[in-house]
Structure formats: structure tokens, C-alpha cells
């Protein structure tokens, strides 16, 4: 999508971090913006409107298909429908696969994977109908490599990469003009290390092992010291949409670990630990 001005962007997870930065970057391009999040959106709504574009905000849980569909309907009614859709909301509680409770598996899959599925199911038919638009699904480098200690998170992010690649092929097969990108950042300073703030009420916290507690500290440090800001990533997303680029790999230094994984697969070697490369 080369021309963004005057078009409409929909962003989930827009209250904080990458979603907030993308919403502001789209508004800076002259796009009208629809903001969705489980958290309060007042601050970002004001910041978007200050840029002189139209905006709406809706509290929603992306894991619930009906709420995502209601978001799409509200955008149709109030902004004339979305052109650019960012399925971005995510959570990242850590833990080994066997230590993660069934409830936590369902929570993480619900937000990170079903959130994207629900966004695709509600918005893509609308984009196909107008034969114009672009979908950006936020995965992670954890969708291309598998760092230890975050089994559920890695599963969801690999699934988002798989879903995005297949969506791209299916749209090309139908000669649709709708584009797709998958965003795969490494560590960026945002609220992601504090995902527990979004734990659904009534879902008991998992008892964490010593290893998980240590890994949480490492994640927090890595996220806080991320060299690229959320604004840098948002600018890369805007450029990728204009260039109609599929993979958005914002941190080139991680490519060595991705290459190592691909080589291990092709050589049928036991996987190396990407964090030790
Ligand atoms: N920050 C990083 O280092 C990093 C790296 C790779 C990928 N990501 C991905 O980027 C995306 C955005 O995360 P972030 O880093 O900006 O973190 P963040 O915590 O700052 O933002 C996540 C947003 O998602 C919202 N959210 C959580 N559960 C929701 C739900 N059920 N429904 C609707 N909204 C919900 C939160 O309220 C929050 O506003 C996530 O998908 C994350 O996995 C982040």
C-alpha cells in the first residue's frame, strides 16, 4: 500500500509499546486510526487526535472473536472501514512447557494466536471486498528461533509466522491486491516484561520455578536495554507497508541465530540454543 494518507489503520494492543508507537506513526502519515486494547486507551487516543486525524478507541479482548468483529463493525460505521490492520496485542509470561498451567497456555494462545486468527477472520474478508489493504501480524524473532524458557510464547509466534505466510499465498492465489507482513522484532523496550498486568481476572498465577524467575529477570533486562525503540520499529513497519515487504526483521544481528536454526534443520542436527550462539 503506497499511499497511506487519508486511509484507516486498525491497531490492537494500541495502549502500550509497539501498538501505541504504530498508531502514532500511522497518524503521522495522515491516517485515521482505530485503537483496540483490553487496557485504557485515553492517553493514546488523545495523542493520535492531536495529530489532526480522526480516531476511535474500543476496549476489547482480542482472544474473543465477537469482540474483534464488533471492533471491525465500529470501524466500518465510524471511519468507513479499515485499510491497514495490525494484529499486534500480545502477552509473554515465561515458563517451561510442563510448568505452564493449562489456564496460562490458554491465555497465551488466546491473545497471541487467537487474537491474530480473529483479526484475520474479521478484517481480511472486508479488505478482499475493497481489493485494497494490508495486514501486519506481530510475531517476534521467537517465531523464527526457539529461545528456551518460553514454550507457549514460541509456539504462538511460530504459528503467527505460519499463518501470515499462508495468508500471503492464499491472497496471491486469488489475485487479491491485499498485502501481508509479519513483524519479527527482537527486544524492544515496552511493557512486554510486565505482561502479568494483563492476566485475566480469575486466572490463578502459575507457581514459577527458580529457572523461570531467573529467566524473567534476564528478559526484563534484555527488553529494557533493547537498542531500537518502539518508535524505530513503528517507522520500519510504515516503510515495509509502503514497500510491500513481507518479513519485517528489525534486528539484523539476530539473523545468525535464524540461519543456524535453518542449517540445523537442513543438516538434521540437534538444535543449537539460539541464546548461546
Ligand atoms: N517488546 C519486545 O521486545 C517484543 C519483541 C518481539 C515481539 N513483541 C510483540 O509485540 C507485540 C506488542 O507487545 P509490546 O512489546 O508492545 O508489549 P506491551 O505490553 O507494551 O503491549 C502489549 C499490549 O497488548 C495489550 N493486550 C494484552 N492482552 C490483550 C488482550 N487480550 N486483548 C487486547 N489487548 C491486549 C496490552 O494491554 C498492551 O497494551 C506483542 O505481540 C509482543 O509479543 C514484542
Percentage of the chain lying above the pLDDT 90 cut:
99
Length of the chain, please? 277
From ligand 1's centre to the CA of 270, what distance in Å?
A: 31
Check pocket membership of 188 for ligand 1, CB cut-off 6 A: yes
**Which pTM was predicted?**
0.98
* CA gap 118, 234 in Å, rounded: 22
- Exposure on the CB side of residue 118, measured as CA atoms within 13 A: 23
Q: Is 83 left (phi over 0), alpha (psi -120 to 50) or beta?
A: alpha
3-class SS of residue 206: coil
Residue 5: which pLDDT band, with cuts at 50, 70 and 90?
very high
CA distances from 227 to 67, 94, 224 (A): 35, 22, 9
What pLDDT is stored for residue 162 in this prediction?
99
Strand 32-37 and strand 8-12: the pairing is parallel
Q: For the segment 56-104, what is each residue's pLDDT rounded down to a tens digit? A: 999 999 999 999 999 999 999 999 999 999 999 999 999 999 999 999 9
Nearest residue to 165 via CA among 123, 125, 120: 120
- In this structure, the residue with its CA closest to atom 40 of ligand 1 is 90
Check pocket membership of 153 for ligand 1, CB cut-off 6 A: no
- In this structure, the residue with its CA closest to atom 32 of ligand 1 is 61
Other Cβ atoms within 10 Å of 172 Cβ, number: 12
Residues whose CB is less than 8 angstroms from the CB of residue 139 and which lie 6 or more positions away in sequence, other chains included: 157, 158, 160, 161, 164, 182, 183, 184
Q: For the segment 155-206, what is each residue's pLDDT rounded down to a tens digit? A: 999 999 999 999 999 999 999 999 999 999 999 999 999 999 999 999 998 8
Strand 247-248 and strand 8-12: the pairing is unpaired
Given a contact cutoff of 8 angstroms between Cβ atoms, the answer to whether 19 and 11 are in contact is: yes
Instruction: Write out the three cell numbers for 41.
Output: 486507551
Check pocket membership of 219 for ligand 1, CB cut-off 6 A: no
Given a contact cutoff of 8 angstroms between Cβ atoms, the answer to whether 30 and 5 are in contact is: yes
Residue among 89, 92, 117, 225 to mutate when testing ligand 1 (max atoms within 8 A of CB): 89
Amino acid at each position: 500500500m503506497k499511499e497511506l494518507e487519508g486511509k484507516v489503520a486498525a491497531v490492537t494492543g494500541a495502549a502500550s509499546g509497539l501498538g501505541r508507537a504504530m498508531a502514532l506513526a500511522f497518524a503521522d502519515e495522515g491516517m485515521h486510526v482505530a485503537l483496540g486494547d483490553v487496557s485504557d486507551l485515553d492517553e493514546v487516543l488523545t495523542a493520535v487526535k492531536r495529530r489532526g486525524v480522526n480516531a476511535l478507541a474500543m476496549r476489547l479482548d482480542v482472544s474473543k472473536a465477537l469482540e474483534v468483529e464488533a471492533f471491525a463493525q465500529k470501524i466500518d460505521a465510524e471511519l468507513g472501514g479499515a485499510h491497514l490492520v495490525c494484529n499486534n496485542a500480545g502477552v509473554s509470561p515465561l515458563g517451561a512447557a510442563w510448568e505452564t498451567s493449562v489456564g496460562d497456555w490458554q491465555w497465551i494462545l488466546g491473545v497471541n494466536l487467537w487474537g491474530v486468527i480473529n483479526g484475520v477472520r474479521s478484517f481480511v474478508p472486508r479488505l478482499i471486498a475493497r481489493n485494497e489493504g494490508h495486514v501486519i501480524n506481530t510475531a517476534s524473532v521467537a517465531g523464527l528461533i526457539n529461545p528456551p524458557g518460553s514454550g507457549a510464547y514460541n509456539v504462538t509466534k511460530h504459528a503467527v509466522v505460519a499463518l501470515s505466510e499462508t495468508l500471503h499465498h492464499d491472497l496471491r492465489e486469488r489475485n487479491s491486491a491485499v498485502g501481508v507482513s509479519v513483524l519479527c522484532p527482537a527486544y524492544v523496550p515496552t511493557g512486554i516484561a510486565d505482561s502479568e498486568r494483563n492476566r485475566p481476572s480469575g486466572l490463578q498465577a502459575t507457581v514459577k520455578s527458580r529457572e523461570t524467575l531467573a529467566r524473567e529477570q534476564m528478559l526484563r533486562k534484555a527488553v529494557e536495554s533493547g537498542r531500537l525503540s518502539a518508535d524505530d520499529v513503528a517507522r520500519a513497519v510504515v516503510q515495509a507497508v509502503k514497500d510491500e515487504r513481507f518479513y519485517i526483521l528489525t534486528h539484523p544481528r539476530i539473523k545468525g541465530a535464524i540461519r543456524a536454526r535453518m542449517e540445523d534443520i537442513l543438516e538434521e542436527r540437534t538444535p543449537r540454543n539460539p541464546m548461546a550462539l
